[in-house]
Chains A and B, each alone.
Chain A
């Protein structure tokens, strides 16, 4: 399994042609207490760079963009009852959705963990 990151602070775990997507620890920190997450339904076609989910904190709503295109196979239903998972376990239990990758070449240009850490360091 390999993990990629985007400048929009999303992480992607890729296993075969399945990708699991969530937001990074840095992103949840910036958002504050997450109170609601809207994940895409199974079967939704998402395109790279287009809105795929919504995450809400007490005073802001942000779009989560699909870092890669594909067909959604599953949304994380645990977030419906416990959106705070995004705060407590952003890069594991608080994942947003899974998809079947349409075009692996879209992974090119995404950052690895080291590059993402360096990118975040430039922000603060």
Chain B
């Protein structure tokens, strides 16, 4: 049977109200060659639950799963161990309150969780105020650029060459519909993060400089230097972080002069999930900018009896109140992913996060040392946290495919990230987390040595 709640009478009434004769007339602006003219090819019209399960199991066996193989992929999506406790806790009834916590009297569970989450993000980023989360790192990054435009009344965005190309791509797509001009650059294969090149591009028209930390090649830029140069020109510094575990070891961007800090929170608590849904993090260093912030904010208050409670606050920034003058068209947040992040972060604690970061970095150093001994392979970075770039005189895209056929997921080729840049085709980004073992590193080194000989 088909699960369609509307009767023919309902549909007729709706069509009549809209002023369309039929459902087809309603969709008349969809080109006719895009219509489906029958069942989807290869998909049966119906199947039993058991048959579907069997079929899905067969399909899933075709995957080379991250957990079953030496795995060195990162570049904005990281495989970390998520404790089993996280999945259990996020399913508890206390958190299953109203979907939208606009009625604080019945949503204290959700609201308190958001408040704790914001506190964690603000501390992680070295910032004054964090919001209740955005959709993902790339959209959070775009929102930060738009916010900088509102604050500075300028429209030129300077993206550092080390900014993730997918983040750049989201920004350039969205900028087609705004006044912003996005100035981009492609990374050069050199050990340093190229601060001079970034600083040279900042001018009096620049609203913000967007710098990834650590950057797309794993290098760690000197944020304070770039922040000072940006502030001298009246521009803001937006720091972007795609690997929050790194901040268990590195100084927080907000303490290094960044005005807005954004990033991807997936690494903590969320898991790879085939690429989504993910979790955008967003925080500001200066509380005076709070009214220009996008997204939900949860605040602490007291109720009529003087008891501590939580509410959504400063909502007049948001589109359900301010309409076309809202700071953003996000009016929600990534609630479940934020909860998972917050639970995992709580389980880790300050000391746990530092230890996790130390383990990541130590294993990455081991991998860099071992790979550095592979003939024909060079480690590019002089700084990195848990991912670094290696180079060789071969097309890395093909090499990654060859190694995948042998059951080793060696990393992300720069050719995949920058398909139009021949100069980067011999680069491979290798990511090492606490889930990698020394045997995995050895297997990767041996496979690379074999492939390059």
> Contact: B315 with A59, CB < 8 Å?
yes
Q: How many residues of A contact B (CB 8 A)?
A: 7
- The answer to the question of B11 belonging to the interface, with a C-beta cut-off of 8 Å to chain A, is no
Look across to chain B and name the residue whose beta carbon is closest to the beta carbon of A63.
B325
Complex Cα spacing A38 to B316, Å: 12
Interface 0/1 of A49-76, CB less than 8 Å to B: 0000000100111000000000000000
Q: Does B321 contact A (CB under 8 A)?
A: yes
- Does residue B291 face the partner (Cβ distance < 8 Å to A)? yes
Q: Is the interface of A mostly helix, strand, loop or mixed?
A: strand
Task: Pick from B316, B321, B325: contact of A36, CB below 8 A.
Answer: B316
B291 A36 Cβ-Cβ under 8 A = yes
30-57 of chain A: CB within 8 A of chain B:
35-36, 38, 56
Nearest chain B residue, comparing its CB with the CB of A36: B291
- Residues on B with C-beta less than 8 A from A36 are 291, 316
A59 touches B321 (CB 8 A): yes
Q: Chain B 307-343 against A: per-residue CB contact (8 Å), 1 yes, 0 no?
A: 0000000011000011001000000000000000000
CA distance A38 to B325 in the complex (A): 13
Contact in complex: B291, A61 (CB < 8 Å): no
- Nearest A residue to B323 via CB reads A61
Q: Name, among B291, B315, B316, the residue most crowded by chain A CB atoms within 10 Å (CB to CB).
A: B316
Please pick, from B291, B316, B325, the residue contacting A60 in the complex, using a CB distance under 8 A: B316
Closest chain B CB from A42 CB (angstroms): 15
B325 contacts across to A, CB distance below 8 A: 61
CB distance from A50 to the nearest CB of B (A): 14
Q: CB-CB < 8 A to B316: which residues of A?
A: 35-36, 56, 59-61
B234 to chain A, nearest CB (A): 15
Contacting B at CB under 8 A, from A14-37, are 35-36
Minimum distance in angstroms from A81 CB to a CB of chain B: 12
Q: Which A residues lie within 8 Å of B322 (CB)? A: 61
A-B contact pairs, 14 of them (CB 8 A): A35-B316, A36-B291, A36-B316, A38-B291, A56-B316, A59-B315, A59-B316, A59-B321, A60-B316, A60-B321, A61-B316, A61-B321, A61-B322, A61-B325
A residues with CB within 8 A of B: 35-36, 38, 56, 59-61
- 8 other A-B residue contacts (CB within 8 Å) besides A59-B321, A60-B316, A61-B321: A35-B316, A36-B291, A36-B316, A59-B315, A59-B316, A60-B321, A61-B316, A61-B322
Closest 3 interchain pairs by CB?
A61-B316, A56-B316, A61-B322
